[in-house]
Amino acid sequence: MIVRELQSDADLLAAQKIGVLAFNTSCDMEETAKNIAANAKPQGIYGAFDESGRLCAKLKHCPYNMIFDGHRVKMSGVAGVASLVEARGKGAVRAIFRHLLLQQRQDGWLFSTLYPFANSYYRQFGYDVCNFNEVYTLPTKALAAYAKSSRCEATLGLPDDDRTPYELIFAEFTRGRNLSVCRTDDMWSRRLSPDPFKDKVYRYLLRDAQQCPVAYVIFTPGSVDGSRSIKVTDYAFVDAGAGRDLLGFLATLSAQYPKLEISLPTDIDLAVALPEAYDCQKSCRACGQGRVLDVQAVLELMRYPAENGSFSIAVDDVFLPEVSGTFRVAFQADGSRAVEPYATATVDMRCSQECFTQLCLGFCDLAGAALRTDLAVNAKHDLLQRVFARKPRFFTERF
């Protein structure tokens, strides 16, 4: 298979046809061809061609920055993966992934993520589950206690409003949460452009007693068990107090919306904060896969315990052997660290790249990964448990 970025009108139209067939959608191909010819060519669409020059598969690379242990790092979002039915099983998608991931590794990308149709399919390319979507459903009046203590003032947001307060609140909310995507101008425009009077998308900005913006929420009307509901699509708050004020604001809408649906970060458990835990239903579902592209660079940026310590680790990547490596990590209580390639047959810990991805992101801790067959801890178990601890995460941007 020959892999290249698609730039010609003919290749882009062929990619569109593959997507329509794979995702069971429909479109007017004549009109699509005219639009492709008339508009600027999209970037980041890659395809695999067979020996006859036929496009067999395609995908799109979406460039982002994300938060990793307090750092902004390069993360590639993969979307629109599709192949011709008659070309499946012949390595077309595999060829694109290998080409693209190696190129991104060389260009300094640390992570690649995607939303899979089946987690098992993308594991063959080194991706594994890195996030759960935890959705709470509850009577809105269950938050009434928060309304009594809230002193925030809420203002309805309109399309032409200054978006700076939203950006600042979101930046503070996501600062310590791994996988949080640093939103681009286009991403903010899509979230803040709907008109509440026309689109039924409602946005409220909350200010404290000093008129400082501290939280926001965006929601649409929904339905739960025949009752009208608030379906929260986006929100953020600067601290726990502002989070409580946000819940208090939502409580004031209970007469209009008896039910509430909201997805919270993995480090916040709403059920423990309610007067009656039975009021709250919590669903949890895998939502997103990821993989590491540069183990040494990730180890150099990881957050370590405030103590002096060292360990050796070997990471094996079956799909991309170029990512595999053995390293010695030394860290100090003052925050300094050193990561070096380590030539040894005996290591304190050995794991697959997939397992390493889950551990470094804090999706699970060492104890949580104990049932994995691709993890072996040979020494320094207590230290490694402190190194690979669970961490807050927030992964909500769809691509």
d(CA 240, CA 381): 33
pLDDT tens figures, 6-23? 999 999 999 999 999 999
d(CA 174, CA 179): 9
In the numeric block, which tokens belong to residue 239?
């601290």
Specify the amino acid at residue 50: D
pLDDT tens figures, 361-392? 999 999 999 999 999 999 999 999 999 999 99
d(CA 202, CA 154): 12
When pLDDT is cut at 50, 70 and 90, the band that residue 271 belongs to is: confident
For the cut 90, the answer to whether the pLDDT of residue 273 exceeds it is no
Q: What are phi and psi for residue 310, nearest 5 degrees?
A: -155, 155
For the cut 90, the answer to whether the pLDDT of residue 103 exceeds it is yes
d(CA 399, CA 315): 29
Residue that the structure tokens 């996030």 belong to? 131
Beta-carbon contacts of residue 337 (< 8 Å; ≥ 6 apart):
300, 304, 329, 330, 331
Half-sphere exposure of 354 toward its Cβ, with a 13 Å CA cutoff?
18
For the cut 90, the answer to whether the pLDDT of residue 275 exceeds it is no
When pLDDT is cut at 50, 70 and 90, the band that residue 43 belongs to is: very high
Query: What beta strand segments (E) does the chain contain?
Result: 2-5, 45-49, 55-68, 71-83, 111-114, 128-129, 132-139, 153-156, 202-207, 213-224, 227-237, 259-263, 281-286, 289-292, 309-316, 325-331, 337-341, 349-352, 375-377
Domains of the chain plus CATH, in order, are 2-109 (3.40.630.30), 133-286 (3.40.630.30), 293-387 (3.30.1050.10)
Report the mean per-residue pLDDT for the chain.
Answer: 95
Is the pTM higher than 0.95? The answer reads no
Mean pLDDT, rounded, for 188-210: 96
d(CA 196, CA 70): 35
Burial 325-357, CB ≥16 within 10 A → b, else e: bbbbbebeeeeebebeeeeeeebbbbbbbbbbb
pLDDT tens figures, 314-363? 999 999 999 999 999 999 999 999 999 999 889 999 999 999 999 999 99
In the numeric block, which tokens belong to residue 12?
């882009």
Give bridge partners of residue 261 from the DSSP assignment.
Answer: 137, 231
Q: Cβ(129)–Cβ(119) under 8 Å?
A: yes
